[in-house]
Amino acid sequence: MLLVTFSDGDNPARPGALREGGVVDLGPYFGGLLDLIAAGPEVLASLGARVAAAPVLPLDSVRLHAPLRPGKIVGVGLNYVEHVEESSRTLDTAKDLPTQPVLFSKPATAVVGPGEPIQHNADLTAQLDWECELAVVIGRTARRVSRSDALDYVFGYSILNDISARDQRRSGQWFFSKGQDSYAPFGPAIRTADEVPDPQTLDLGLKVNGEVKQKGNTAHMLFAVAELIADISSGMTLEPGDVIATGSPQGVGAAQNPPQFLRPGDVVEATIEGIGTLRNPVVDAR
Protein backbone atom coordinates (compact mmCIF):
# COMPACT_ATOMS: atom_id res chain seq x y z
CA MET A 1 0.00 0.00 0.00
CA LEU A 2 1.16 3.53 -0.78
CA LEU A 3 0.24 5.81 2.11
CA VAL A 4 0.19 9.61 1.98
CA THR A 5 -0.81 12.67 3.93
CA PHE A 6 -3.03 15.00 1.90
CA SER A 7 -5.43 17.91 2.09
CA ASP A 8 -8.16 19.26 -0.17
CA GLY A 9 -10.00 22.56 -0.19
CA ASP A 10 -10.17 24.05 3.29
CA ASN A 11 -10.00 20.65 4.96
CA PRO A 12 -7.03 19.84 7.23
CA ALA A 13 -4.28 17.42 6.27
CA ARG A 14 -5.14 13.78 6.92
CA PRO A 15 -3.91 10.30 5.96
CA GLY A 16 -4.80 8.56 2.75
CA ALA A 17 -3.92 5.66 0.47
CA LEU A 18 -3.09 6.02 -3.21
CA ARG A 19 -5.22 3.96 -5.57
CA GLU A 20 -5.82 4.13 -9.33
CA GLY A 21 -4.86 7.75 -9.83
CA GLY A 22 -6.59 9.00 -6.72
CA VAL A 23 -6.55 9.06 -2.95
CA VAL A 24 -8.70 7.09 -0.53
CA ASP A 25 -9.43 9.19 2.56
CA LEU A 26 -8.33 7.42 5.76
CA GLY A 27 -9.11 10.45 7.91
CA PRO A 28 -12.29 8.92 9.39
CA TYR A 29 -10.18 6.13 10.90
CA PHE A 30 -6.82 7.73 11.80
CA GLY A 31 -5.74 11.21 12.83
CA GLY A 32 -2.47 10.83 10.94
CA LEU A 33 -0.03 8.27 9.63
CA LEU A 34 1.66 8.10 13.03
CA ASP A 35 -1.65 6.84 14.43
CA LEU A 36 -1.82 4.21 11.71
CA ILE A 37 1.75 3.11 12.45
CA ALA A 38 0.96 2.88 16.16
CA ALA A 39 -2.11 0.75 15.43
CA GLY A 40 0.13 -2.13 14.39
CA PRO A 41 0.47 -4.49 11.41
CA GLU A 42 -2.82 -6.28 12.01
CA VAL A 43 -4.78 -3.05 11.53
CA LEU A 44 -2.73 -2.19 8.46
CA ALA A 45 -3.44 -5.61 6.95
CA SER A 46 -7.16 -5.12 7.47
CA LEU A 47 -7.12 -1.84 5.53
CA GLY A 48 -6.62 -3.50 2.16
CA ALA A 49 -10.23 -4.48 1.57
CA ARG A 50 -11.49 -1.18 2.93
CA VAL A 51 -9.25 0.83 0.60
CA ALA A 52 -10.20 -1.31 -2.40
CA ALA A 53 -13.91 -0.63 -1.86
CA ALA A 54 -13.72 3.06 -0.90
CA PRO A 55 -14.43 6.04 -3.16
CA VAL A 56 -11.42 7.84 -4.60
CA LEU A 57 -10.63 11.56 -4.59
CA PRO A 58 -8.97 12.54 -7.90
CA LEU A 59 -5.25 13.11 -7.44
CA ASP A 60 -5.41 16.49 -9.16
CA SER A 61 -7.95 17.69 -6.57
CA VAL A 62 -5.71 17.14 -3.55
CA ARG A 63 -2.37 18.42 -2.25
CA LEU A 64 0.19 15.94 -0.95
CA HIS A 65 2.25 16.80 2.13
CA ALA A 66 5.24 15.16 3.80
CA PRO A 67 3.88 11.78 4.97
CA LEU A 68 4.68 12.53 8.62
CA ARG A 69 6.89 14.60 10.91
CA PRO A 70 9.64 12.25 12.14
CA GLY A 71 10.63 12.29 15.77
CA LYS A 72 14.21 12.10 14.50
CA ILE A 73 15.99 11.69 11.21
CA VAL A 74 19.20 9.67 11.28
CA GLY A 75 21.30 10.33 8.20
CA VAL A 76 23.90 7.93 6.84
CA GLY A 77 26.93 9.30 5.03
CA LEU A 78 29.25 7.57 2.57
CA ASN A 79 27.09 4.47 2.17
CA TYR A 80 27.74 3.79 -1.54
CA VAL A 81 31.21 2.88 -2.82
CA GLU A 82 31.21 5.35 -5.72
CA HIS A 83 30.01 8.16 -3.44
CA VAL A 84 32.90 7.47 -1.05
CA GLU A 85 35.30 7.97 -3.97
CA GLU A 86 33.70 11.15 -5.28
CA SER A 87 33.41 12.61 -1.78
CA SER A 88 37.10 11.98 -1.03
CA ARG A 89 37.94 13.73 -4.29
CA THR A 90 35.67 16.75 -3.92
CA LEU A 91 34.58 17.06 -0.26
CA ASP A 92 37.80 16.26 1.60
CA THR A 93 36.46 13.09 3.22
CA ALA A 94 38.41 9.88 3.85
CA LYS A 95 39.39 7.74 0.85
CA ASP A 96 38.98 4.44 2.69
CA LEU A 97 35.61 2.73 2.86
CA PRO A 98 34.04 3.20 6.31
CA THR A 99 34.11 0.15 8.56
CA GLN A 100 31.02 1.32 10.46
CA PRO A 101 28.07 3.45 9.32
CA VAL A 102 28.80 7.18 9.27
CA LEU A 103 25.87 8.79 11.10
CA PHE A 104 24.57 12.35 11.44
CA SER A 105 21.19 13.91 12.21
CA LYS A 106 18.71 16.24 10.58
CA PRO A 107 16.03 18.02 12.63
CA ALA A 108 12.32 17.59 11.95
CA THR A 109 12.16 21.33 11.12
CA ALA A 110 14.12 20.53 7.93
CA VAL A 111 11.23 18.46 6.52
CA VAL A 112 9.17 19.72 3.60
CA GLY A 113 6.74 17.78 1.45
CA PRO A 114 6.35 17.22 -2.28
CA GLY A 115 6.06 20.45 -4.24
CA GLU A 116 7.25 22.56 -1.34
CA PRO A 117 10.28 24.78 -1.93
CA ILE A 118 13.89 24.09 -1.08
CA GLN A 119 15.21 27.38 0.29
CA HIS A 120 18.35 28.81 -1.27
CA ASN A 121 19.80 31.52 0.95
CA ALA A 122 22.79 33.06 -0.82
CA ASP A 123 23.85 34.68 2.46
CA LEU A 124 24.51 31.18 3.83
CA THR A 125 25.56 29.06 0.87
CA ALA A 126 26.86 29.09 -2.67
CA GLN A 127 27.04 25.28 -2.74
CA LEU A 128 23.52 23.91 -2.28
CA ASP A 129 23.63 20.22 -3.20
CA TRP A 130 21.30 17.24 -3.64
CA GLU A 131 21.29 13.56 -2.57
CA CYS A 132 18.51 11.08 -3.41
CA GLU A 133 18.14 8.57 -0.57
CA LEU A 134 15.92 5.66 0.42
CA ALA A 135 14.12 6.63 3.63
CA VAL A 136 13.33 3.85 6.10
CA VAL A 137 10.30 4.57 8.31
CA ILE A 138 10.44 2.75 11.63
CA GLY A 139 7.24 0.96 12.66
CA ARG A 140 7.87 -0.06 16.28
CA THR A 141 10.29 0.67 19.06
CA ALA A 142 13.71 -0.77 18.21
CA ARG A 143 16.36 -1.11 20.89
CA ARG A 144 19.42 -3.37 20.47
CA VAL A 145 17.85 -5.13 17.52
CA SER A 146 19.72 -7.94 15.77
CA ARG A 147 20.41 -7.72 12.07
CA SER A 148 18.35 -10.86 11.45
CA ASP A 149 15.27 -9.27 13.07
CA ALA A 150 15.83 -5.69 11.95
CA LEU A 151 13.47 -5.56 8.95
CA ASP A 152 10.60 -6.62 11.23
CA TYR A 153 10.82 -3.11 12.73
CA VAL A 154 10.28 -1.32 9.40
CA PHE A 155 6.88 0.17 8.67
CA GLY A 156 7.72 1.23 5.15
CA TYR A 157 9.97 3.09 2.73
CA SER A 158 9.92 6.56 1.24
CA ILE A 159 12.24 9.12 -0.40
CA LEU A 160 14.34 11.74 1.34
CA ASN A 161 16.39 14.31 -0.58
CA ASP A 162 19.36 15.03 1.68
CA ILE A 163 19.95 18.68 0.78
CA SER A 164 23.32 20.02 1.91
CA ALA A 165 25.06 23.38 2.04
CA ARG A 166 28.52 22.04 1.25
CA ASP A 167 30.22 25.25 2.37
CA GLN A 168 28.63 25.17 5.85
CA ARG A 169 30.55 22.27 7.36
CA ARG A 170 31.70 23.56 10.74
CA SER A 171 34.70 22.11 12.58
CA GLY A 172 34.20 18.87 10.69
CA GLN A 173 30.51 18.62 11.66
CA TRP A 174 27.67 18.44 9.13
CA PHE A 175 24.68 19.41 11.29
CA PHE A 176 24.26 23.00 10.10
CA SER A 177 25.18 22.02 6.55
CA LYS A 178 22.40 19.43 6.42
CA GLY A 179 19.91 20.63 9.02
CA GLN A 180 18.69 23.99 7.78
CA ASP A 181 15.00 24.61 7.07
CA SER A 182 13.76 22.76 3.94
CA TYR A 183 16.88 20.57 3.74
CA ALA A 184 14.89 17.32 4.09
CA PRO A 185 12.28 17.04 1.33
CA PHE A 186 10.36 13.87 2.21
CA GLY A 187 7.68 11.87 0.39
CA PRO A 188 5.58 11.78 -1.67
CA ALA A 189 4.37 8.51 -0.13
CA ILE A 190 5.35 5.60 2.08
CA ARG A 191 5.34 2.16 0.49
CA THR A 192 4.49 -0.31 3.24
CA ALA A 193 7.17 -2.88 4.03
CA ASP A 194 4.98 -5.85 3.08
CA GLU A 195 5.25 -4.69 -0.53
CA VAL A 196 9.05 -4.32 -0.43
CA PRO A 197 10.33 -7.84 0.28
CA ASP A 198 13.94 -6.79 -0.35
CA PRO A 199 14.90 -3.11 0.09
CA GLN A 200 18.33 -3.86 -1.45
CA THR A 201 17.01 -4.17 -5.01
CA LEU A 202 15.56 -0.71 -5.70
CA ASP A 203 16.61 1.61 -8.50
CA LEU A 204 16.96 5.24 -7.44
CA GLY A 205 17.97 8.43 -9.19
CA LEU A 206 17.69 12.20 -9.33
CA LYS A 207 17.18 14.85 -12.00
CA VAL A 208 17.74 18.59 -11.93
CA ASN A 209 15.68 20.49 -14.52
CA GLY A 210 15.04 17.18 -16.29
CA GLU A 211 18.73 16.24 -16.56
CA VAL A 212 19.83 12.99 -14.92
CA LYS A 213 22.38 13.60 -12.17
CA GLN A 214 22.16 10.43 -10.08
CA LYS A 215 21.40 6.85 -11.04
CA GLY A 216 21.98 3.88 -8.75
CA ASN A 217 20.55 0.88 -6.98
CA THR A 218 20.24 0.13 -3.27
CA ALA A 219 22.10 -3.14 -3.90
CA HIS A 220 25.27 -1.04 -3.85
CA MET A 221 24.89 0.15 -0.25
CA LEU A 222 27.92 -0.59 1.90
CA PHE A 223 25.64 -1.14 4.90
CA ALA A 224 22.25 -2.63 4.10
CA VAL A 225 19.03 -1.44 5.73
CA ALA A 226 19.03 -4.29 8.27
CA GLU A 227 22.63 -3.58 9.25
CA LEU A 228 21.88 0.13 9.68
CA ILE A 229 18.94 -0.56 11.99
CA ALA A 230 21.00 -2.98 14.06
CA ASP A 231 23.91 -0.54 14.33
CA ILE A 232 21.84 2.55 15.19
CA SER A 233 19.62 0.72 17.69
CA SER A 234 22.68 -0.65 19.50
CA GLY A 235 22.95 2.67 21.31
CA MET A 236 19.96 4.78 20.25
CA THR A 237 16.32 3.82 20.60
CA LEU A 238 14.43 4.08 17.34
CA GLU A 239 10.76 4.93 17.76
CA PRO A 240 7.71 4.61 15.49
CA GLY A 241 7.84 7.31 12.81
CA ASP A 242 11.61 7.83 13.03
CA VAL A 243 13.35 7.94 9.66
CA ILE A 244 16.72 6.60 8.57
CA ALA A 245 18.04 8.28 5.40
CA THR A 246 20.24 5.50 4.08
CA GLY A 247 22.79 7.40 1.99
CA SER A 248 23.26 8.64 -1.52
CA PRO A 249 24.63 7.05 -4.69
CA GLN A 250 27.22 8.89 -6.76
CA GLY A 251 26.39 11.99 -8.78
CA VAL A 252 26.09 14.77 -6.21
CA GLY A 253 26.54 18.31 -7.46
CA ALA A 254 29.92 18.83 -5.82
CA ALA A 255 31.33 15.93 -7.86
CA GLN A 256 30.14 17.15 -11.27
CA ASN A 257 32.80 18.42 -13.66
CA PRO A 258 32.68 21.33 -13.21
CA PRO A 259 30.79 21.33 -9.86
CA GLN A 260 27.10 22.16 -10.17
CA PHE A 261 24.93 23.48 -7.36
CA LEU A 262 21.25 24.31 -6.98
CA ARG A 263 20.01 27.81 -7.76
CA PRO A 264 16.61 29.52 -7.44
CA GLY A 265 14.41 28.42 -10.32
CA ASP A 266 15.78 24.86 -10.43
CA VAL A 267 13.48 21.86 -10.03
CA VAL A 268 14.76 18.70 -8.34
CA GLU A 269 13.14 15.29 -8.87
CA ALA A 270 14.21 12.31 -6.74
CA THR A 271 12.77 8.95 -7.80
CA ILE A 272 12.84 5.50 -6.20
CA GLU A 273 11.38 2.39 -7.77
CA GLY A 274 7.98 1.45 -6.37
CA ILE A 275 7.63 4.63 -4.31
CA GLY A 276 7.35 7.48 -6.80
CA THR A 277 8.95 10.83 -7.53
CA LEU A 278 9.59 13.60 -5.01
CA ARG A 279 9.59 16.93 -6.86
CA ASN A 280 10.66 20.23 -5.26
CA PRO A 281 11.42 23.68 -6.68
CA VAL A 282 14.33 25.78 -5.43
CA VAL A 283 13.47 29.34 -4.36
CA ASP A 284 15.37 32.39 -3.13
CA ALA A 285 14.92 32.45 0.66
CA ARG A 286 16.31 35.93 1.32
Per-residue pLDDT tens digits for 33-67:
999 999 999 999 899 888 999 999 999 999 999 99
Burial (CB count within 10 angstroms: exposed 0-12, middle 13-18, buried 19+), residue 128: buried
| pTM as predicted | 0.96
Residue 90 has pLDDT above 90, yes or no: no
Taking residues 83-92, report their average pLDDT. Answer: 73
Taking residues 171-192, report their average pLDDT. Answer: 96
pLDDT at 94: 66
Upper half-sphere CA count for residue 230 (Cβ side, 13 Å): 12
Query: Do 49 and 146 have their domain in common?
Result: no
Mean pLDDT of the chain: 95
Query: Do 136 and 57 have their domain in common?
Result: no
Taking residues 226-230, report their average pLDDT. Answer: 98
d(C-alpha 282, C-alpha 121), whole Å: 10
Of 86-90, 217-221, 232-236, 272-276, least confident by mean pLDDT is: 86-90
Taking residues 201-210, report their average pLDDT. Answer: 98
Domain boundaries, position 201? 73-284
Q: How confident is the model at residue 217 (pLDDT cuts 50, 70, 90)?
A: very high
Using the Cα atoms of residue 228, residue 79, residue 94 and residue 98 in order, give the sign of their dihedral.
positive
Query: Do 165 and 275 have their domain in common?
Result: yes
pLDDT at 88: 67
Per-residue pLDDT tens digits for 244-273: 999 999 999 999 999 999 999 999 999 999
Q: What is the CA radius of gyration of the chain?
A: 18
Query: Do 60 and 10 have their domain in common?
Result: yes
Q: How confident is the model at residue 211 (pLDDT cuts 50, 70, 90)?
A: very high
Query: Do 35 and 87 have their domain in common?
Result: no
Residues 6 or more apart in contact with residue 276 via CB below 8 angstroms: 2, 159, 188, 189
Higher pLDDT, 261 or 20: 261
Per-residue pLDDT tens digits for 94-144: 677 889 999 999 999 999 999 999 999 999 999 999 999 999 999 999 999
Query: Do 90 and 37 have their domain in common?
Result: no
Amino acid residing at 94: A
Query: Do 178 and 116 have their domain in common?
Result: yes
pLDDT at 86: 77
Query: Do 189 and 83 have their domain in common?
Result: yes
